[in-house]
Amino acid sequence: MKRKIVPDVVENQTIRSISGSATAREAVEIMAEHHISALLVTNGDKLEGIFTERDISVKIIANGKDSGKTKISQVMTKNPVTISPDDLAMDALQKMCELGFRHLPIVDGERVVGMVSVRDLYVTVQEQLEDDMKFRDAYIFGTG
């Protein structure tokens, strides 16, 4: 069975987001509190960007910026690549590998519905491969 992003990978997810007018320090505090490495940057339900650990290290620390004064809108990745809830897990993983991303926002039309990480996808794809091998064995050996 081909697994879709929603509900097979992400279901009933609490969306962690922040406004572009917040500071990087505020974002880092949220990320630390929830043990996550990326935040969606939103305006209501609309996605404006994504802010990740990579942004912290490359755009703030490496450039000597003050995280307490730097606005998220200055350092976020604007108009990020997104996926649809109906996209397949394997396709999302391939997209992430090709583009070098570890997180992809999930958008349904204009509305943000979640975010998927490469870790989430690896687990799902591994389960899918195991199911495929069981199906194959059942077919080959006539046990299914």
Q: What is the homologous superfamily of the domain 16-80 according to CATH?
A: CBS-domain (3.10.580.10)
Topology of domain 81-144 in CATH is CBS-domain (3.10.580)
Per the CB < 8 A criterion, the answer to whether 21 and 73 are in contact is: yes
Give the separation between CA 29 and CA 24, rounded to whole angstroms: 9
The segment(s) of the chain belonging to CATH 3.10.580.10 are 16-80, 81-144
Burial of 25 (0-12, 13-18, 19+ CB in 10 A): middle
pLDDT exceeds 80 at position 116: yes
Q: Which residue has the higher pLDDT, 137 or 59?
A: 59
Q: What is the pLDDT of residues 44-85, one digit of tens each?
A: 889 999 999 999 999 999 999 999 999 999 999 999 999 999
Indicate the pLDDT class of residue 1, thresholds 50, 70 and 90.
low
pLDDT score for 40: 98
Please count the other Cβ atoms lying within 10 Å of the Cβ belonging to residue 52. 22
Average pLDDT over residues 134-141: 84
Quickly tell me which residue has 């969306």 as its tokens.
15
Indicate the pLDDT class of residue 133, thresholds 50, 70 and 90.
confident
Helical pair 118-141 and 89-99, crossing angle rounded to 10 deg: 130
Q: What token pair was written down for 132?
A: 């495929």
Give yes or no for a cis peptide into 7 (omega within 30° of 0): yes
Give the separation between CA 43 and CA 25, rounded to whole angstroms: 19
